[in-house]
Amino acid sequence: MKKIMIYLLMIAMIVTATGCSQGATVEEPEAAKTAIENGTYTGVGEGKGGDISVEVTIEEDVITAINVLSQNETEGLDQAIGTLTEEILRINSLEVDVVAGASVTSNGFVEAVTAALGAANATPDMLKKIEVAEVTTERETVTEKCDVVVIGAGGAGLTAAIEAKAAGANVIVLEKMPAAGGNTLISGAEYAASNNWMQKEMGIEDSIEQHIEDTLKGGDYVNDPALVRVVAENALAGAEWLRDFVGVVWEDELMQFGGHSAKRSLVPEGASGRAIITKQLVKAEEMGIPVLLNTKATALITDETGKVVGVEAEGKENDYIFETNKAVIIASGGFGSNVEMRVKYNPDIDGSILSTNSPGSTGDGIVMAEAVGADLTGMEFIQTYPICDPLSGTLLYVDDARLYGHTVIVNLEGKRFVEELGRRDVMSMGIKAQTGSVCYELMDQNGFEKSYLQENHAAEIEYLYNNDLFVKADTLEEAAAFYGIDAAELKTTVDNYNSYVADGVDPEFNKRSLPSTIEKAPYYILKAVPAVHHTMGGIMINESAQVVDLEGSVIEGLFAAGEVTGGIHGKNRLGSNAIADITVFGRIAGQNAAK
């Protein structure tokens, strides 16, 4: 039984006299003095996605309401705002702890509320002191039994859980963050699948062999060819499964990502991972799969033979032991948000490089698997994404225009320096070598419209405008001047580029897709930097998604899928191959774990 000890429950209320007059001779009681003038005040703070604007109502020195007027925080992180609002209202103080994994959002929100107090000529210490009940609970260790435990509720984990459940297993998903989704949620979630239905409609020739070759070449041929083949051969079936079983809606479009020799990437609704994760969560709920949030797996449990038979986990209030009848599936994502681990395996990828990743991508699954003898592979291969927010590292979706082929990328000198549809690592290193280690991505009105930017990414565009990271101008010169780019050189660059489009060949950088010239005003320029995006290395698995040990033998009872695994993408992952990988191997892991 959980013991709840209430130490103190004393809410000091200052009784406010209302002035009940009983006659002319009785003195009116003095109105209660408040330090802060009652009213509603607004304030702004700086979160991860830019300004967080709030409206705070104060009555008798007590904050009675906080409304968020606007914010652009990453989905999932924005839940921190709700948690902090509740806490501030509960204790009438801004001395609140930041929400784990969402420190920038938390600090930005508290800054906004503090600013609102400032607008009332008040400081946080002027709020009425309220002594609140302090409740402490003694942690208990709860033991639960099930067939399969999945660690991580990102794309791979939810896929695996749905498949395991469909195969008849009783499944529990553990997610350490307050929301599901991981990196999958905040990705564009385009999905490479050769011979897909859109290619057929558009008359695009493609093949599984070509997809394999592109993936191996993109990874400098250090990928595990057998695993690559599994992904390429099952990618289309995975996309169809997401569409037909899970209910994911795909746009009537295809994108061509760097390193792919054909336009083969399906685009989920709104070009966002949200289209996949929300449908998977609905499906999981329908099927009765519990997704335990705020529950962090900390260790795998093995029996005397080395077989994995369970997971230890920490919840908000209790510790857990999940005993598994069948298997554990590790789907806890990569380690892009763990600077220490990045530097351990690749000293070049230090804290000076921002990251696009979800705060949950800290490599926990890799550490847990290693502790039970799993082999790791390719840990030093860490990919940066070329086009990210110079302030926060967030991947910028205005860059979709590049993937539709409509942009050129230049440096401060107004010159192109890299193929715009080249490999992410090559582009990133190219950008790092330019003045200020930044790049400028240019498109015209035609490119802007044909890439559905306003329809899909309006909030991001507004944030970029507000932070001088995106400019729209009537002339090229004006757009260049905004950033101090050499305008004459930029004009020459664009003239040359337009002639390459007319010829259908780019003799300078061999850009593989030249669908449109850049000549229709207004012009747009995005300022961007590379940031850590994907960790290619991870747990060694076989074609059945079983985890393999240092001797090459299978660790019984243990499967892994998604970014937590290594070997599939070699030195460098091609864009849109991740969602194919996590879906294909998530399905395989789920099906096999249920056996």
Q: Looking only at residues 389 through 408 of this chain, which bind ligand ADP when binding is defined by CB under 6 A?
A: none
CA distances for 196 relative to 208, 252, 255, 267, 292, angstroms: 10, 12, 12, 12, 35
Q: Looking only at residues 515 through 574 of this chain, which bind ligand ADP when binding is defined by CB under 6 A?
A: 562-564
Residue of the chain from 151, 193, 281, 442 that contacts ligand ADP (CB under 6 A): 151
Close Cβ partners of 11 (under 8 Å, ≥ 6 residues apart): 130, 131, 132
Task: Pick between residue 177 and residue 540 the one whose CB is nearest to ligand ADP.
Answer: 177
- 154 touches ligand ADP by CB under 6 A: yes
Catalytic residue among 342, 424, 573, 587: 424
Residue of the chain from 77, 84, 115, 153 that contacts ligand ADP (CB under 6 A): 153
- 218 touches ligand ADP by CB under 6 A: no
Residue of the chain from 147, 206, 224, 364 that contacts ligand ADP (CB under 6 A): 364
Task: Pick between residue 46 and residue 314 the one whose CB is nearest to ligand ADP.
Answer: 314
**Closest distance to ligand ADP from the beta carbon of 179 (Å):** 8
Residue of the chain from 45, 49, 50, 155 that contacts ligand ADP (CB under 6 A): 155
In this structure, what token pair is assigned to residue 81? 């705002």
Stretch that binds ligand ADP, among 111-119, 153-161, 210-218, 552-560 (CB under 6 A): 153-161
- 331 touches ligand ADP by CB under 6 A: yes
CA pair distance 543, 13, nearest whole angstrom:
66
Using CB under 6 A, count the residues that bind ligand ADP. 28
Task: Pick between residue 176 and residue 512 the one whose CB is nearest to ligand ADP.
Answer: 176
Residue nearest to ligand ADP (CB): 154
Task: Pick between residue 120 and residue 395 the one whose CB is nearest to ligand ADP.
Answer: 395
**Closest distance to ligand ADP from the beta carbon of 524 (Å):** 30
CA pair distance 251, 239, nearest whole angstrom:
12
Task: Pick between residue 434 and residue 565 the one whose CB is nearest to ligand ADP.
Answer: 565
- Give kind and range of the element (H or E) at residue 143: strand 141-151
User: With the C-alpha atoms ordered 268, 235, 148, 366, is the resulting torsion angle positive or negative?
Assistant: negative
CA pair distance 182, 361, nearest whole angstrom:
7
Exposed e or buried b for every residue in 108-118, given b needs 16+ CB within 10 A?
bbbbbbbbbbe
- Asked, as a colleague might, if the bond just before 522 is cis with ω within 30 of 0, I would say yes
Task: Pick between residue 181 and residue 590 the one whose CB is nearest to ligand ADP.
Answer: 181
Asked if residue 266 lies in contact with residue 403, where contact means CB atoms within 8 angstroms, the answer is no
CA pair distance 271, 188, nearest whole angstrom:
5
The conformational region for residue 393 under phi > 0 = left, psi -120 to 50 = alpha, else beta, is left
Task: Pick between residue 230 and residue 453 the one whose CB is nearest to ligand ADP.
Answer: 230
CA pair distance 175, 401, nearest whole angstrom:
34
Asked if residue 281 lies in contact with residue 158, where contact means CB atoms within 8 angstroms, the answer is yes
Asked if residue 300 lies in contact with residue 274, where contact means CB atoms within 8 angstroms, the answer is no
Helices 274-287 and 155-166 cross at an angle (nearest 10°) of: 30
Stretch that binds ligand ADP, among 47-55, 58-66, 116-124, 173-181 (CB under 6 A): 173-181
Residue of the chain from 215, 324, 361, 434 that contacts ligand ADP (CB under 6 A): 361
CA pair distance 378, 220, nearest whole angstrom:
12
Q: Is 229 a catalytic residue?
A: no
**Closest distance to ligand ADP from the beta carbon of 157 (Å):** 6
Stretch that binds ligand ADP, among 78-86, 126-134, 326-334, 413-421 (CB under 6 A): 326-334
**Closest distance to ligand ADP from the beta carbon of 398 (Å):** 22
In this structure, what token pair is assigned to residue 425? 């690592």
CA pair distance 194, 514, nearest whole angstrom:
21
Three-state DSSP class for 392?
coil
Stretch that binds ligand ADP, among 28-36, 42-50, 327-335, 434-442 (CB under 6 A): 327-335
**Closest distance to ligand ADP from the beta carbon of 83 (Å):** 16
- 414 touches ligand ADP by CB under 6 A: no
Q: Looking only at residues 174 through 193 of this chain, which bind ligand ADP when binding is defined by CB under 6 A?
A: 174-177, 181-184
Helix/strand/coil percentages in the chain, nearest 5: 35, 25, 40
Which residues make beta-bridge pairs with 441?
Answer: 409, 526
Close Cβ partners of 522 (under 8 Å, ≥ 6 residues apart): 444, 445, 472, 473, 474
Task: Pick between residue 120 and residue 161 the one whose CB is nearest to ligand ADP.
Answer: 161
Task: Pick between residue 259 and residue 360 the one whose CB is nearest to ligand ADP.
Answer: 360
- 297 touches ligand ADP by CB under 6 A: yes
**Closest distance to ligand ADP from the beta carbon of 262 (Å):** 24
Q: Which residues are catalytic?
A: 424
Q: Which residues bind to ligand ADP, rule: CB under 6 A?
A: 151-157, 174-177, 181-184, 296-297, 331-333, 358, 360-361, 364, 562-564, 582
